[in-house]
Each structure stands twice: as C-alpha cells, then as structure tokens.
C-alpha cells in the first residue's frame, strides 16, 4: 500500500504487522496525516519488499509478536538491508532483548502524534570525544619494547597490530549491518586488549568505548570512523619510527 504524503517533509514508513486490521488502520491514519506508507504482512514479506528495491523507508514499524521471522532476528535482517530507524509495536510489554536492538517502541493503539513524538525524542547519538589528544603510542611502552628486542622485531609487532585493526574494522562494519551488538562489544574488547599491550593508546581507548557502548548502534559508526583514523595514525607512526627495509616489510 502506498500513501499520499510523498510531497511533505515526513519520513516514508514501512509497517510490518500480521494483523490485517491493525496494519490497515495504522496505514490509513498515517497516510491521511501525510506519511508515505508501505505495508507488509510478515517479516519475510518486508525483506522481499526491501530486496526488490520497491521501498526505501526511513522508519520501520514492526509488530513485536508475529509468526515466522520476528523479533531480534528480523531486526538484524532489516538492518542489513536498510538504514531506517526501527520501532517495535506491541499491545503488551516488549522483551528486553528486542529493546536492545530497536530504536524505540510503541504500545498499541497509537496515533500519528505518538509516532512523531517518539521520533523527535529519539536519543541522539552520543558525542564522541576526539582521540587526537591522546598519543598514538605510549612513549614508555615503545621504549620498553625497544629495550627488549630489535627494531625489526618491534616493527613487526606494530605491523601485526595495524593489520589486525583493519580486519576488525571490517568485522565491525559487518556486525553493525547485522545489528549484532554482542559481536560489536566482543570486537571492542579484543581491540582494547591487543592495542593496550603495545601502548596503542588511541586504538585502545576506542576499543574500550566500543565494548562499553556497542549496544547503542547509533554510537558505533562514528567510533568506527575514529578507529580507522587511529589505525592510519599508527601506520604513519610506524613508517616514521621504523622505516621499512625493503618492499616485503611494508604494511
């Protein structure tokens, strides 16, 4: 079902609800208010609609209790296909697991003003403190490593750290797309531990933030951008402190 609100400054909404009456009432009310509406009767139908490219919602309203694909699993599939804000709808309480992966929730019945209020009150992404004030590498740690082993060996350690950060940044992007907050926090923990062992202070601090804030999906993309910048800073430090001896040794 398509609405009539395309000319107004209101988001396109995808409603996913297996109850036909609830679905059509919501669609009608929101359309009359000015929203452009698409509907799907089941989670699988919504994915088909998104995969076909016939719908590019900015907001997704999904019933919390449906047969078939639902709940956290449905949210992960939706996140992998859309950047829309996702809100759960329910006539009773919403599970804690579902609350952690959606952007908010609404209790039925609700009107367009409740939806608008929810979107306006949606928690803004937390500000990310710049990491540039931190040294790329702790000077004492670097000197300790130099006192224990050759420059070539120290360089290889930092090469491994830089390569690991690249791999984990890729894994983080995949986890964000899947809405997998546990994997995001696990990756943050691993980054924090590995980077701290070699005194990579910027990367270590960002890993700690990902571990602590990984369940807030809106906070992760800016942290990921800063993590990639920290990796680039570490690479520049590496080339300045330990110039590569031959092409084979370059990062």
- 131 has a pLDDT exceeding 90: no
- State CA 99 to chain mean position distance: 15
Note the pTM of the prediction, 2 decimals: 0.48
Whether residue 90 contacts residue 44, with contact meaning beta carbons closer than 8 Å, is answered with no
- 63 has a pLDDT exceeding 80: yes
Q: What is the CATH topology of the domain spanning 12-121? A: Rossmann fold (3.40.50)
* Confidence at residue 40, expressed as pLDDT on a 0 to 100 scale: 94
- 119 has a pLDDT exceeding 70: no
* Confidence at residue 4, expressed as pLDDT on a 0 to 100 scale: 38
Higher pLDDT, 34 or 12: 12
Mean pLDDT of 182-201: 88
In angstroms, the Cα distances linking 19 to 26, 90, 243 are 11, 12, 65
* Residue among 31, 85, 30 at smallest CA distance from 57: 85
pLDDT class for 214, splitting at 50, 70, 90? confident
**Torsion angle of C-alpha atoms 174, 179, 183, 189, degrees rounded to 10:** 100
* Confidence at residue 67, expressed as pLDDT on a 0 to 100 scale: 86
pLDDT class for 133, splitting at 50, 70, 90? low
pLDDT class for 53, splitting at 50, 70, 90? confident
Tell me where in the chain the CATH 3.40.50.2300 domain(s) lie.
12-121
* Confidence at residue 81, expressed as pLDDT on a 0 to 100 scale: 92
Distance (Å, rounded) from C-alpha 20 to C-alpha 108?
Answer: 14
Tokens representing 184 are 């995001």
Higher pLDDT, 140 or 60: 60
Class of domain 139-249: mainly alpha
pLDDT class for 62, splitting at 50, 70, 90? very high
- 94 has a pLDDT exceeding 90: no
pLDDT class for 130, splitting at 50, 70, 90? very low
Tell me where in the chain the CATH 1.20.120.160 domain(s) lie.
139-249
* Confidence at residue 250, expressed as pLDDT on a 0 to 100 scale: 44
Whether residue 244 contacts residue 151, with contact meaning beta carbons closer than 8 Å, is answered with no
pLDDT class for 110, splitting at 50, 70, 90? low
Question: Per mean pLDDT, which range of 19-33, 42-56, 105-119 is the poorest?
Answer: 105-119
Higher pLDDT, 126 or 208: 208
pLDDT class for 112, splitting at 50, 70, 90? low
- 245 has a pLDDT exceeding 70: no
* Confidence at residue 16, expressed as pLDDT on a 0 to 100 scale: 95
């Amino acid at each position: 079902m398509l609405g009539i609100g395309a000319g107004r400054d209101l988001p396109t909404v995808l409603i996913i609800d297996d109850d036909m009456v609830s679905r059509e009432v919501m669609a009608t009310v929101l359309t009359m208010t000015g929203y452009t509406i698409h509907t799907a009767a089941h989670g699988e139908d919504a994915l088909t609609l998104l995969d076909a490219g016939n719908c590019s919602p900015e907001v997704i309203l999904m019933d919390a209790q449906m047969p078939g694909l639902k709940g956290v699993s449905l949210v992960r599939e939706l996140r992998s296909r859309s950047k829309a804000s996702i809100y759960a709808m329910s006539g009773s309480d919403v599970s804690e697991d579902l609350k952690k992966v959606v952007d908010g929730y609404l209790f039925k019945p609700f009107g367009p003003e409740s939806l608008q209020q929810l979107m306006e009150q949606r928690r803004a992404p937390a500000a990310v403190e710049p990491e540039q004030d931190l040294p790329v590498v702790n000077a004492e740690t670097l000197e300790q490593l130099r006192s224990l082993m050759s420059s070539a060996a120290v360089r290889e350690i930092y090469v491994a750290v830089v390569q690991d950060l690249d791999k984990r940044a890729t894994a983080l992007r995949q986890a964000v797309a899947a809405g997998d907050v546990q994997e995001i926090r696990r990756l943050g923990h691993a980054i924090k531990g590995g980077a701290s062992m070699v005194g990579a202070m910027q990367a270590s601090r960002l890993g700690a933030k990902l571990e602590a804030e990984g369940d807030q999906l809106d906070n992760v993309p800016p942290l990921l951008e800063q993590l990639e910048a920290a990796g680039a800073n570490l690479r520049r430090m590496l080339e300045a402190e330990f110039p590569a001896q031959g092409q084979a040794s370059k990062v």
